[in-house]
């Protein structure tokens, strides 16, 4: 996906009220190991990673991050992943009922692995430091 396509998708999600209209969605060098991350009510993403994912995959990921931004439990790492996935699964089918969810999730996993192979190795501590903005960009 190209940056202009991404911007159009974000606008459509906001216009259709799938994402809060005032939600900040901005590029950040600190999330390259996550592709997308949410913190403090904003969604951050790695522009370089966009080319590895298709429109519906990015849409699902944005919906997942919207869950993290819009709920209290969404701010709690690991605990919120399962409800965040469930939320994104439900919302993506409202956004586009023709999507085959199992195929979409497999595709996201495959493209995530493909993108991950482009990154240098990193341990969990380095990954955490990168997430909170103290690690390597």
**DSSP output for the chain:** --HHHHHHHHHHHHHTTSS-TT-EEEE-GGGTTTSEEEETTEEEE-GGGGGGS-HHHHHHHHHHHHHHHHSSGGGSTTTTHHHHHHHHHHHHHHH-TT--HHHHHHHHHHHHHHHHTTSPP--HHHHHHHHTT-S--
Domain extent at residue 38: 3-131
In a domain, 136, yes or no: no
pTM of this prediction exceeds 0.85: no
Low-confidence ranges of the chain (pLDDT < 70): 33, 72-78, 80, 122-124, 126-137
**Do the domain assignments include residue 109?**
yes
Does any domain span residue 56? Answer: yes
Q: What is the pLDDT of residues 45-68, one digit of tens each?
A: 988 889 999 999 999 999 999 998
Q: What's the structural domain count of the chain?
A: 1
Kindly report the CATH number assigned to the domain that includes residue 56: 3.30.2010
For residue 137, being part of any structural domain is answered with no
Residue 11 resides in a domain:
yes
């Amino acid at each position: 996906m190209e940056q202009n396509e991404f911007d159009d998708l974000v606008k459509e999600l906001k216009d259709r009220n799938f994402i809060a209209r005032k939600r900040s969605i901005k590029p950040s060098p600190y999330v390259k190991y996550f592709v997308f991350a949410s913190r403090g009510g904003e969604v951050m993403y790695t522009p370089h990673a966009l080319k590895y994912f298709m429109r519906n995959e990015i849409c699902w990921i944005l919906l997942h991050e919207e869950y993290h931004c819009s709920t209290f439990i969404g701010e709690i790492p690991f605990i919120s992943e399962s409800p965040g996935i469930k939320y994104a699964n439900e919302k993506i089918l409202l956004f586009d009922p023709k999507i085959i969810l199992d195929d979409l999730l497999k595709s996201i996993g495959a493209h995530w692995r493909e993108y991950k192979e482009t990154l240098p190795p990193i341990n969990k501590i380095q990954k955490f430091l990168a997430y909170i903005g103290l690690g390597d960009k």
